[in-house]
Amino acid sequence: MASLNVGNLGEYLREQRRNAQLSLRQLADAAGVSNPYLSQIERGLRKPSAEVLQQVAKALRISAETLYVRAGILDAERDRDEVETRAVILADPSLDERQKQVLLQIYESFRKENELGGEGPARSGEPAGTEAQPSDTPVGGTRTDGGSDAGPRRTAG
């Protein structure tokens, strides 16, 4: 596990709070924590829980995972790809909050599925970087069943 560097977390939180143009009191109110407690976190005197970090991240509209890594809760090396993926999804201005949460839930379900199945990023028996072709689609991409490659269609319902 990464070593705890609460001072680095505090500096980062202060920077994010200032970028959001929030006073310490405003952020404390938005996150549901006391003003003195948040001040102690920023000064590196307190180690916040994951729950407090999540509340602060939500109030700042930043990734909680990023704060977890900075606080040493997540291992930076092992979890970096996951954190970066989540951060990209959360930062995408073309998605609304509901869409971001749905994407994160799908992403997490795939990660859990792969962990439980003992599979890595590639499907079992396939080299990394290859994708399986549907059984009715030859490698060249021409369908033999007379179907369309238009993709999924919506139906009334």
What is this structure's pTM?
Answer: 0.48
- Three-state DSSP at 81 gives helix
- Alpha-helical segments (H) within the chain: 6-19, 24-31, 35-42, 50-60, 64-71, 76-91, 97-116
CA 40 – CA 35 distance, rounded (Å): 9
What is the per-residue pLDDT for 119? Answer: 56
What is the per-residue pLDDT for 90? Answer: 86
What is the per-residue pLDDT for 82? Answer: 78
What is the per-residue pLDDT for 71? Answer: 86
How many CB atoms neighbour CB 147 within 10 A?
Answer: 10
Contacts 24+ apart (CB under 8 A), 48-57: 48/9, 55/31, 56/13, 56/27, 56/31
Residues of the chain with pLDDT under 50: 1-5, 122-145, 147-151
**CA dihedral (13, 14, 15, 21) positive or negative:** positive
